[in-house]
Amino acid sequence: MHHAASEGHELVDVPVLVRSRSPLTSDPADAIIVALIARLDALLRVDKPALHRSLAPGVTQGGIGVIESELGFGLPRSLRLLLTWRDGLRAGALGGSIHLDYRLLGAAGIGAAWRAHPELFRPSLVPFAENERGEWLAVQTAREPPHDCGRILRVRLGTTEQDVRFRNLPAFLEVVVSSRGKFASSDDARRAGMRMLAAAREHRPSA
């Protein structure tokens, strides 16, 4: 059987990997984030192979369900797709900054931060990256007002102040990708992602 999640998978396998762990929809937002994840995966393999190797395999749907049960609500779709690509850093990995000095959190890291710092994240922020200075990037899941849902906030130990860093998770990934290499426009990303999703849906693992 073909296993798209194996180490050293090709770029074309990234949407297949995402599809195998998180059912895809026809939502254009899926296409955008899958395209960004695929581009980031390719850039890391070339520009930062040690970092790429230090990233853990993606979370299964069962793992997503565990963290959602702990949080008490469903993860944003974009974060689900990111976690199905890579589950943060492997145990014992050093460094691993993906943006500035921020490291990606896996499902376990999200749960640990949520438990350790309820004053920062509850009731509706989901941390997905952290640094050594007591700062996190978190996705806002509150829907009041609706247009605020999905924003990426920076939260810090010792203060209740929060500042908006990105309009959403795809915007964060586009900045990360752009900082590591030239990336096409959002329209190009959307078209590329739609092609990847179409290819992923046509993929049929052989026995």
Concatenate the DSSP letters of all residues of 41-100 into one string.
HHHHHHH-HHHHHHEEEPPPHHHHHHHHHHHTSPPPHHHHHHHHHEEEEPTT----EEET
With a cut of 50, say whether residue 185 has pLDDT above it.
no
pLDDT-derived band at 9 (thresholds 50, 70, 90) equals: very low
pLDDT of residue 3: 36
Using a pLDDT cut of 70, give the percent of the chain over it. Answer: 71
Q: Residue 153: which residues within 8 A CB-CB, separation 6 or more?
A: 125, 137, 138, 140, 162, 163, 164, 165
Residue 50 CB contacts under 8 Å (≥ 6 apart), including other chains = 95
- Say which CATH architecture domain 13-202 belongs to: 3-Layer(aba) Sandwich (3.40)
User: How crowded is residue 180: how many other Cβ atoms within 10 Å of its Cβ?
Assistant: 18
Q: What is the pLDDT of residues 91-145, one digit of tens each?
A: 888 778 999 999 999 999 999 999 999 999 999 999 999 999 999 999 999 765 5
Q: How many CB atoms lie within 10 A of CB 89?
A: 20
Task: Tell me the pLDDT band of 179, cut-offs 50, 70 and 90.
Answer: confident
Q: Could you count the other beta carbons within 10 Å of the beta carbon of residue 77? A: 16
| pLDDT at position 149 over 90 | no
Tokens of 162: 């929060």
Residue 26: pLDDT band (50, 70, 90) is low
CA 5, CA 57: separation in Å to the nearest integer? 7
* Burial label, 182 (beta-carbon count in 10 A; 0-12, 13-18, 19+): exposed
Higher pLDDT among residues 28 and 115, named by residue: 115
